[in-house]
Amino acid sequence: MNYEILKFKNSKEWIDFENYYNRTNFIRQIGFYRYEDVHANFLASVLEEENVYALGSYPLKLLIELLACKNSKLFNELGLLGNDSISDIKVSTQKVITSGRLDLFVEFKINSIQYALVLEAKLFSLEHDEQCKRYKEELDESLKNSHKLIYVYLSLDDKDQVSDDGYIHITYQDLIDMIYTPCSLKMQNKNMALSIEEYVKSFSCLYEENIIDNALIPITYVGKELTIKVWKKFEKTLIALLSDKELLAQFYNNNKAIFTIFLTNVVKMSEELQLDDNLKVNISLVLSKTRHQNVFNNTILGNSDFLYTVFKDIIARKHILLFTDLPEDILHTTGTWENLIADSEIKNNPRKDYYRLTKNNNEPITINGKQYWYCDWNTGEDIGRFIDAVIKCYPEYKGKIYRLDKFDFQSVYDK
């Protein structure tokens, strides 16, 4: 068995897979993939009629067809566009209107009928203050006599809620599958096609962030092809490896990042790879053992539960009354917003939707009848800094809180 694993590890298929995901690029170097505006701007560059890819109206046609397939009303109106003419394309980003700012605003004509497409893009955040509803109400009124309007909500998760059901919800995976991949395949200029591939591959950097469920991270066309090649050639070896807890722990601990990406791809591609349900469940269980493993008092906790538990313990032990009573070192390690705020403050905060509370159905921490709200926005790197800050401020937590660096998978297949 050891020799078979070595053959797999040293194979061209696996090395190609490693090289693809490990190769850095400009977007990754400067961290642009983290920002919603960058993704809206890249889509805008593809949709422009005089786009640098020399594809004319083809990308916009693909987007409209995708939206039509997601929305029966639009499909009945437009169907698949076929030879319908799209013209007069005008693309704007960050367009300011009275009720806010539109991430993407695209005007165009189909058979001389004027349309406007309004897109709200999200990456890590959720919609706030019913912004989509406000945008739609304003534009429905201001453009009612001049444009037919199409509203689009773009996010990683197709289960995200939108304040107005007039929006068509699409994901970044939809864009990759139905727009970016066909565009890159159709291009004659392979250097330009590579620029799209480098952009879409940058989504794999999200594995390093530890912010979202890995299952939501888009997979590229090339990533799919490479995954299929590895799985098809080494299916028996990989299944045997996944069934051997000791070998699995050894291999995983030496190949954490890349093996996590590979197994996540396999689960997402279970239909193409014809995985049986039991194997898919087992691989999912393996992945669940490799993610966000933080320890408090000998108990393994995910990031959100870990923050909740440690904050609650600090509050109870230190008799903290307000978030400002926490040391600065702790306050600046785990969130974009302030991490712990008094109940009275959040009631008067118009941006309270930003405080994402994932413990006990979004209930605050309650101690002695007083409520404390906190933000659980974090990355794996943030959690490491948070642990260091807590131990620095309160040395008694040393050995009590830490992150697991290795995994033994002893309970991987426990049902």
> Based on the domain organization, do 176 and 233 belong to the same domain?
no
Given a cut of 70, whether residue 211 has pLDDT beyond it is: no
> Based on the domain organization, do 333 and 307 belong to the same domain?
yes
Predicted confidence band at 371 (pLDDT cuts at 50, 70, 90)? low
- For residues 163 and 132, is the Cβ–Cβ distance under 8 A? yes
Instruction: Give residue 388's domain range.
Output: 294-403
- Is 208 domain-assigned? no
Q: Of the candidates 234, 261, 288, which is a domain's last residue?
A: 288
Least confident segment among 113-127, 280-294, 334-348? 334-348
Q: How far is CA 330 from CA 118, 196, 300, 319, in A?
A: 40, 40, 21, 16
Helices 2-9 + 221-243 axis angle, to 10: 170
Given a cut of 60, whether residue 205 has pLDDT beyond it is: yes
Instruction: Give pLDDT, residue 405.
Output: 64
> Based on the domain organization, do 53 and 6 belong to the same domain?
no
Kindly give, in sequence order, each residue whose CB lies less than 8 Å from that of residue 357, ignoring residues fewer than 6 positions away: 363, 364, 373, 374, 375, 376
Token pair recorded at residue 78: 């437009």
- Is 205 domain-assigned? no
- Is 100 domain-assigned? yes
Predicted confidence band at 321 (pLDDT cuts at 50, 70, 90)? low
CA angle 369, 382, 199 (to 5 degrees): 130
DSSP structure class, residue 177: I
Sheet holding 370-374, edge to edge: 340-342, 370-374, 365-367
> Based on the domain organization, do 243 and 327 belong to the same domain?
no
Pairing between β-strand 86-97 and β-strand 370-374 as defined by DSSP bridges: unpaired
- Is 26 domain-assigned? no
Cα–Cα distance measured from residue 89 to residue 229, given in angstroms and rounded to the nearest whole number: 40
Given a cut of 50, whether residue 349 has pLDDT beyond it is: no
Given a cut of 60, whether residue 42 has pLDDT beyond it is: yes
Render pLDDT for 383-392 as a digit per residue (tens, 0 to 9): 888 888 889 9
- Is 273 domain-assigned? yes
> Based on the domain organization, do 383 and 245 belong to the same domain?
no
Predicted confidence band at 305 (pLDDT cuts at 50, 70, 90)? confident
Q: How far is CA 12 from CA 16, 226, 234, in A?
A: 6, 10, 12
Given a cut of 50, whether residue 143 has pLDDT beyond it is: yes
> Based on the domain organization, do 337 and 351 belong to the same domain?
yes
- Is 147 domain-assigned? yes
Render pLDDT for 246-282 as a digit per residue (tens, 0 to 9): 889 889 888 988 999 999 999 999 999 999 998 998 8
> Based on the domain organization, do 37 and 154 belong to the same domain?
yes
Render pLDDT for 93-133 as a digit per residue (tens, 0 to 9): 999 999 999 999 999 999 889 999 999 999 877 887 899 99
Percentage, residues of the chain above pLDDT 90: 48
> Based on the domain organization, do 127 and 245 belong to the same domain?
no
> Based on the domain organization, do 172 and 36 belong to the same domain?
yes
> Based on the domain organization, do 7 and 97 belong to the same domain?
no
- Over range 48-57, report the average pLDDT: 92
Which of the pair, 367 or 193, is modelled with greater confidence? 193
> Based on the domain organization, do 220 and 273 belong to the same domain?
yes
- Is 225 domain-assigned? yes
> Based on the domain organization, do 35 and 175 belong to the same domain?
yes
- Is 335 domain-assigned? yes
Number of independent structural domains in the chain:
3
Given a cut of 50, whether residue 176 has pLDDT beyond it is: yes
Predicted confidence band at 27 (pLDDT cuts at 50, 70, 90)? confident
pTM for the model? 0.78
Instruction: Give pLDDT, residue 361.
Output: 38
Averaged confidence pLDDT in the chain: 83
Q: Of the candidates 258, 288, 318, which is a domain's last residue?
A: 288
Instruction: Give pLDDT, residue 262.
Output: 96
Q: Of the candidates 288, 313, 330, which is a domain's last residue?
A: 288
